[in-house]
Structure 1
């Protein structure tokens, strides 16, 4: 922290028409980019050496010590490598207690990722414990930037062949998620037998922390059980893609439902949906088709919300559009079920390989109407069959 002497004009007294003023030097705290850059460099060095003591020493007075020490444990358990940190710019003003925030560009790679992830992360600085320079008080704030899960302190980690699970919670939760992933991989390979991509799953401590992990506006994923997305800000062709789980939702699910959620997300990983440009109803419907295949659940269960929506609002005129998949929409689950029904009808008419072919063609950039027409199931015919099925179920 650097201190600047600023001359302030202070009114002392007024006599008649004359003002007497007293210029006084006032100490005003300023952010020090140089100090912040040095701390970030020390952070990288501490991570590279997995030195818990060195990382703890970077903490600000009364804040951040435990989390920073825990990061050292994550280095080995996550196979954390290629960590980098570059100071970018200050965020906001310096507070009266000398604390301030800045954006840093962070890079990191965990086991299973081919290349590092990169993201802008807000770092909170404050006077160091020894009052010499600055320390790290924490990460994130004001809903700006991402907070990588490995920066939150020591995580519970579980591994299986080709699987890495990190949880900001108890070890038994990490083990349960890893088992769910292993079963889900088997589910996906029944339809996509050639898929062998490694899987990385992140489970923050809460829905609010899930938003921070993904750099999303608070509340974005409050009602979502899980989401598949790039681990950093990049959407390039080689950017690592992870599954992110919302524990506030999955904790209330039965085992079978939690398994369907995970299998659904693994379909997105297998098909690279996070970076794709496919039609949302086809992307989500196909993932549910694979996840629900073979479960034997009745339509009244798998389409319960869609049936209720059709009874309440009438059968939709068309398949769900992109705006219908807003994560904050109260009817989102009904839209997912409607999408699944459309994909099931495609599979009934064209066969499972036909559905997969349609999915692949659309993912490659061919418009849905063209793909369906060439496959022998024009869009209007699909919609007509889909609406008729919903009407029959809702009657």
Structure 2
């Protein structure tokens, strides 16, 4: 029982006298103990893939919550969900008059292809009634992540070393899985030693992508895909997944969508999500690998960079971290400029040395030092890069 008896003072006027009438009134109160019990039952239901047990955690008559929880059991089975945990952390906001409230829970999970669990603080939506605490959903306005598997029943596609989870149709999941398989082959042409598994998540919308990643609304609205840790942890061994924005990729041609996926797989293969490398080298190298064998003309691959150079002049420096902000103006031009810089490195030094420069930067060597050791001082790269852009813009 989580209904508290609150004593309310009511003033009753009788002539010149004021009497206090003490009436017990029932008001809803959050119960961390019962919320913890509900979370434990949720974990048990997920581990057992027991759709009925999970549906029983929904409030009576809440068909939407029942369907969500049943769907989670189906998804858990499809993605081999393991190492599931959910620990009550704190209440999130007040209890509403209808008994609904939210709590923050530390949730852990691992899907097929991941070698270690992911972890994130997740808002759990709860309802309080005479029967106790029920689960109505996940997510809230606080900006915490909502792992995709908590969306309910997902479409899941597999290929050797590939798992795709999509909050959409089965056909969409299978298209993405095929794209990943082709992308792996693209990456291995330059990085033949890469043999890791790949997990791709496709939320239903750009807004859901923001929520899946715990980002503020609109952060990834214009981004086709992003490679990031699956949870909030950033340790050296936490899983890294590719997250796809279906609203952007739906507007791309087949070749463009493939380049996007191949680009993100380079980030997976090189562990770029953990940072520490000059952004122009990270993004330029990924595009170099993704575009290497496409045969596309410069007017296509460098179209936005050429337009920017014509309108604003040739940049004085290579793109900075600020230039790669997801909502920065001219973001696509910056990607193309970074790709051109890496293409020039490959032309001047050879592809093997481009990879060596990238590997050195990953190991902590400053990019300028790595370039100089390879035989291309940064100032010479910058001069050649600016000259090429100037020529293209003519």
Range class of TM-score, shorter chain: over 0.9
Match of 2:2 in 1: 2
CA distance in 2, matches of 1:219, 1:89: 27
Q: Which residue of 2 aligns with 1:369?
A: 368
| Displacement of 1:25 | 2.7
Task: Give the CA deviation at 1:296.
Answer: 0.6
Q: Tell me the SS of whatever aligns to 1:190.
A: helix
SS of the aligned residue for 1:283 comes to helix
Instruction: Tell me how far 1:143 sits from its aligned partner.
Output: 4.0
SS at match of 1:64: helix
Cα RMSD between the aligned structures? Answer: 1.4
Find the counterpart in structure 2 of residue 92 from structure 1: 93
Q: Between Structure 1 and Structure 2, how many residues are aligned? A: 392
State TM-score, norm by structure 1.
Answer: 0.96
| Pairing of 1:163-202 with structure 2 (within 5 A) | 163-202=162-201
Query: How much does 1:7 deviate?
Result: 2.4
Partner of 1:127: 128
CA contact (8 A) 2:2 2:128 kept: no
Q: Does structure 2 retain, via aligned residues, the 8 Å contact 1:143–1:217?
A: no
Deviation per CA, 1:186-219: give whole Å up to 9, x if none: 0000000010000000001001111111111111
Cα distance in 1 for partners of 2:15, 2:306 equals: 82
TM-score by length of 2: 0.97
1:215 aligns with 2:214: yes
Classify the secondary structure of the residue corresponding to 1:42. Answer: helix
Which residue does the alignment assign to 2:34? Answer: 35
1:85 aligned counterpart, secondary structure: strand
Mapped partners of 1:355, 1:295: distance in 2: 19
Equivalent positions of 1:268-347 (< 5 A) are 268-347=267-346
SS in 2 for 1:200: strand
What's the CA shift string for 1:120-139, capped at 9, x where partnerless? 111000136xx401111100
Contact 1:143 1:212 in 2 (8 A): no
- In structure 1, stretches of 5+ residues that fail to align are none
| Alpha-carbon distance in 1 for matches of 2:308, 2:286 | 21
Deviation at 1:10, TM superposition (A): 3.3
Equivalent residues of 1:281, 1:321 under 8 A apart? yes
CA–CA distance in 2 between the matches of 1:143 and 1:303? Answer: 39
CA contact (8 A) 2:4 2:27 kept: yes
C-alpha deviation, 1:345, in angstroms: 0.6
2:79 maps to what in 1? Answer: 78
Measured in 1, the distance between the counterparts of 2:339 and 2:12 equals 76
